[in-house]
A and B are shown apart, each in its own frame.
Chain A
Amino acid sequence: MIVYWLCFILFLTGLYGVITRRNLIKIAISLSIMEFSCFLFLALLGYTKGGEAPIVDPADPVRTYVDPLPQAMVLTAIVIGLATTAMLMAVIIRIYRKYGTFDIREIKNLRG
């Protein structure tokens, strides 16, 4: 049970980082931490004690396998997370070129 709570604590750590950090790169890293806590959680869901990789061997049908569906979900989510992070980094680099800073307090053109 404790591992699931650790995932949730990791998620909250990332959220804390997003809220409190001022540097854009650190915000992106915090978002990645949140993302990976989700992946860990999903991967843990599929875990079965003593389970093996889910490639069914017809000779030995009673073996226990881990649940493959969360693994497929994690893989898809990793691809999506990669795209999100790449997009965020591209925007951050562009912002650095326009504003000359990574400090989020300096980036406040839009108000109201």
Chain B
Amino acid sequence: MKGMTIIVKKTTQLIAGMIFLYGIYIILHGHLTPGGGFAGGIILAGSFILLILAYGSDFLILVRKESGSTIYENLGVLVFLFLALTGLLFGGRIFFANWLPHGTPGELISAGFLPLYNICVGIEVAASILSIFLALIIFKEEILK
């Protein structure tokens, strides 16, 4: 049987979703509380890694997942750069200009571009951590073969 025992699998099933939600919470509140894109992204990646460790995985599935997460990683960076470059076009020719309305401090939708940047960083970090993890696991599977 692949993966770990049934106890671990069931517990993981219960916990992984909550960890995922917690990561999203940390990312979305990045401009209000300590934390933000990087910390939240690590937590997101943690939920995926937990699932892969508990359930085990097939070599081919791992390779496919790795190429998928690489795409998300690159998209995260590209969207981030695009948002920064919009400042050059609309924000008075200033790179990283925060030209969206700032809103009232302390509310969820405020601070202009910062939540968007945080979301991009979160996707990027989650995908890249997952890619690193998958790459190392794929190495191991290749050695075992």
Contacts and interface: CB of A to CB of B under 8 A. Distances in A.
Contacts of A75: 38
Contacts of A40: none
Interface in B104-145: 105, 125, 129, 132, 135-136, 139, 143
Given A93-B139, A97-B143, A86 B132 contact: yes
B34 A90 contact: no
A79 interface: yes
- Per CB-CB distance, the 10 closest pairs between chain A and chain B, nearest first, are A86-B132, A93-B139, A53-B34, A75-B38, A79-B38, A97-B143, A89-B136, A90-B135, A93-B136, A90-B136
Given A75-B38, A78-B38, A86-B136, 4 more contacts: A55-B33, A90-B135, A93-B136, A97-B143
Interface in A25-69: 53, 55, 58
Contacts of A53: 34
Contacts of A79: 38, 125
A90 B38 contact: no
Contacts of B129: 82
A51 B106 CA distance: 20
B57 to A, nearest CB: 18
Contacts of A89: 136
Contacts of A58: 105
B48 to A, nearest CB: 16
Contacts of B33: 55
Nearest to B121: A79
B89 to A, nearest CB: 27
19 contacts: A53-B34, A55-B32, A55-B33, A58-B105, A75-B38, A78-B38, A79-B38, A79-B125, A82-B129, A86-B132, A86-B136, A89-B136, A90-B135, A90-B136, A90-B139, A93-B136, A93-B139, A94-B139, A97-B143
B68 to A, nearest CB: 19
A39 B13 CA distance: 35
Contacts of A93: 136, 139
A90 B129 CA distance: 14
Nearest to B125: A79
Nearest to A94: B139
A69 to B, nearest CB: 14
